[in-house]
Structure 1
Amino acid sequence: MLNVERPYPPLLKIPAYPASPGAREELEIHINELMKLGVLRNKLPFKLYIDACGEGIGAALHQVQIVNDKPYEGPICFLSRQIKPTEAGYGASQIEFLCLVWALDKLHHYLNGSVLGVITDLNAVKSLLNMKTPNRHILRWQIAIKEAEPQIPIEGINITDVGTEFFEEVRESYKQDKNCHILTDLLEKYCKDASLVNSLDDIQKTSYDNGRVHLFDGLLYHMSKHTFVIALCSKMLINPILLEFHDTIYSGYLSEDRTMEKINTCAWWPSWTKDVIEYCHSCDRCQKANKAIGKRF
Structure 2
Amino acid sequence: MLRWQIAIQEYRGNITIVHKSGNIHKNADVLSRWGLANTTETPSWVPQEEYHMEGICVTDVGTDFFTQDEMWKMAYDEGRFHLLDGIPYHRTKHTCVLALTDRTLINTILHEFHDSVAAGHLSEDSILERVKTCSWWPNWKKDVADYFQTVTDARKQIEPRERNMK
Instruction: Provide the TM-score with structure 2 as the length reference.
Output: 0.53
For the pair 1:223 / 2:91, whether they are aligned, the reply is: yes
CA separation of 1:278 and 1:200: change in aligned 2, threshold 3 A: closer
**Alignment-derived partner of residue 264 in structure 1:** 132
Kindly report which structure 2 residues correspond to 1:133-282, keeping only aligned pairs within 5 A, or say none: 172-174=59-61, 176-178=62-64, 180=65, 182=66, 201-282=69-150
The question of whether the paired residues in 1 share the 8 Å contact of 2:57 and 2:63 is answered with no
1:95-131 CA deviation, whole Å, 9 max, x = no partner? xxxxxxxxxxxxxxxxxxxxxxxxxxxxxxxxxxxxx
Q: CA deviation at 1:225?
A: 2.0
Larger relative strand fraction: 1
Given that residues 222 and 230 in structure 1 are in contact (C-alpha distance below 8 angstroms), is that contact kept between their aligned partners in structure 2?
yes
User: What amino acid maps onto 1:247 in structure 2?
Assistant: D
The residue correspondences of 1:21-36 to structure 2 (distance < 5 A) are: none
Q: What 5-or-longer segments of structure 1 have no aligned partner?
A: 1-85, 90-168, 183-198, 293-297
Give 1:250 shift. 2.2
Query: Structure 1 pair 207/265, CA: closer, same or farther in 2 (3 Å)?
Result: same
Q: Which amino acid aligns with 1:267?
A: S
Mapped to 2, the partners of 1:228 and 1:171 lie a distance apart of 21
User: Are the aligned partners of 1:280 and 1:286 in contact in 2 as well (CA < 8 Å)?
Assistant: no
SS of alignment partner, residue 236 of structure 1: helix
CA deviation profile, 1:160-180 (whole Å, cap 9, x unmatched): xxxxxxxxx977243x323x2
Is this contact kept in 1: 2:114–2:127, CA < 8 A?
Answer: yes
**Which structure is higher in RCO with an 8 Å CA cutoff and minimum separation 6?**
2
Percent identical pairs in the alignment equals 42
* CA distance in structure 1 between the aligned counterparts of 2:137 and 2:58, rounded to whole angstroms: 14
Q: Deviations over 1:45-96 (max 9, x none)?
A: xxxxxxxxxxxxxxxxxxxxxxxxxxxxxxxxxxxxxxxxx9xx7xxxxxxx
C-alpha displacement of 1:233: 1.1
Distance in structure 2 (CA, Å) of the matches to 1:240 and 1:270: 16
User: Normalized against structure 1, the TM-score is what?
Assistant: 0.31
Cα 1:203–1:170 shift into 2, 3 Å: closer
What residue in structure 2 maps to residue 4 of structure 1?
none
Paired residues of 2:89 and 2:98 also in contact (CA < 8 A):
yes
Q: Is the 8 A contact 1:171 1:218 kept in 2?
A: no
Count the aligned residue pairs.
105
Q: Which has the larger radius of gyration?
A: 2
Cα RMSD (Å) of the superposition? 3.0
Contact 1:222 1:229 in 2 (8 A): yes
Segments of structure 2 that go 5 or more residues without pairing to the other structure are 1-28, 33-55, 161-166
Change (3 A) 1:170 1:243: farther
